[in-house]
């Protein structure tokens, strides 16, 4: 059974970094692993990848030592089950706005006695080879990362209740949807709200995620980390664009 190295690093007090992959791209997953990113964030809320493709990207992650995590499209128990059964070691769940919703997600992602996830002996359990069902379910319960997203005003207002949910490991703050929920007041106001939310998450005993980061603004990322963020995501496409733009500018400047 595999150790969730990202969860281990978080629990050791480290900051972890993940690249967001929005479509079927196992080679990109492998590159992120080879570069030393801690996890890959497979986006199945906005991206088109199907379950078979997710499973192949999980295999790519496993082969390059990077934790496979997916943002799933909804809260449904069956959705959570089917994604986790692909072998993912974590799920990021959009628009979790109440403590009740966070608790339901956490229970759906874990087996008895911590939850009610349906039991199957597939790849998440090493196909039952060399491990008993009791051992496998206990291990998976200990390793899975459940990551509700804080991306609505309602979630901010209910943050204290969400923080009470034992099975919610990371609360991930998404600035774009949060800004929309706030009425699109501008980047400065969104960041002001985030600067309040991130320390509250850490003070509540949870890990704090932050998304919407730009490769061109590493100072802002560093500020978020100083405010408490320790689960940091960045778009793989944004990294590609940033590198491509810098390459063209540098070559043309030397001509």
Per-residue pLDDT reduced to its tens digit, 143-158: 999 999 999 999 999 9
Residue 120 clears pLDDT 90, i.e. is over it: no
* Stretch 53-65: mean pLDDT: 98
Per-residue pLDDT tens over the stretch 61-88: 999 999 999 999 999 999 999 999 999 9
Q: Does residue 243 have a pLDDT over 90?
A: yes
Backbone φ/ψ region at 217: left (φ over 0), alpha (ψ -120 to 50), beta: beta
Closest CA to 21 of 2, 46, 38: 46
Residue 226: pLDDT band with limits 50, 70, 90: very high
> HSE-up of 44 (CA within 13 Å, CB side)?
28
The rounded percent of the chain whose pLDDT value lies above 70 is: 100
Q: In the block, which residue shows the tokens 């608790």?
A: 103
CA distance 248 to 134: 55
Does the structure show a pLDDT above 90 at 121? no
CB count in 10 Å sphere of residue 127? 11
Q: Is 46 designated active site?
A: yes
pLDDT at residue number 179: 96
Q: How high is the pLDDT of residue 125? A: 93
Q: Quick check: 212 and 174 in contact, CB under 8 A?
A: yes
pLDDT greater than 90 at residue 242: yes
Q: 210 and 172 in contact (C-beta within 8 Å)?
A: yes
How confident is the model over 7-39, as pLDDT tens digits? 999 999 999 999 999 999 999 999 999 999 999
Percent helix, strand, coil in the chain, to 5, is 50, 15, 35
Give the pair of three-digit tokens for residue 57: 């990207």
pLDDT in tens, 197-210: 999 999 999 999 99
pLDDT value of residue 33: 98
- Give the pLDDT mean for 111-134: 93
> How does the average pLDDT of the chain come out, rounded?
97
Residues listed for the chain: 255
């Amino acid at each position: 059974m595999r150790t969730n190295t990202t969860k281990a690093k978080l629990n050791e007090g480290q900051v972890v970094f993940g690249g967001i992959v929005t479509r079927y791209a196992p080679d990109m997953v492998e590159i992120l692993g080879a570069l030393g990113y801690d996890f890959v964030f497979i986006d199945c809320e906005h991206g088109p990848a199907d379950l078979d493709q997710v499973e192949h990207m999980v295999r790519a992650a496993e082969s390059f030592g990077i934790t496979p995590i997916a943002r799933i499209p909804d809260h449904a128990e069956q959705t959570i089950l089917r994604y986790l059964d692909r072998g993912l070691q974590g799920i990021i769940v959009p628009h979790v706005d109440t403590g009740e919703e966070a608790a339901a997600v956490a229970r759906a992602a874990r087996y008895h006695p911590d939850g009610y996830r349906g039991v199957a002996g597939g790849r998440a359990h090493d196909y039952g080879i060399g491990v008993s069902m009791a051992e496998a379910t206990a291990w998976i319960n200990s390793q899975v990362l459940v990551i509700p997203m804080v991306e609505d005003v309602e979630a901010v207002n209910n943050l204290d209740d969400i923080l009470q949910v034992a099975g919610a490991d990371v609360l991930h703050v998404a600035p774009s949807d949060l800004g929309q929920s706030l009425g699109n007041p501008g980047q400065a106001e969104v960041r002001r709200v985030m600067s309040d939310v991130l320390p509250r998450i850490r003070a509540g005993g949870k890990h704090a995620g932050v998304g919407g980061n730009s490769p061109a603004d590493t100072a802002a990322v560093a500020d978020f980390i100083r405010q408490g963020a320790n689960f940091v995501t960045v778009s793989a496409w944004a990294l590609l664009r940033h590198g491509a733009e810098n390459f063209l500018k540098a070559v043309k400047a030397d001509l």
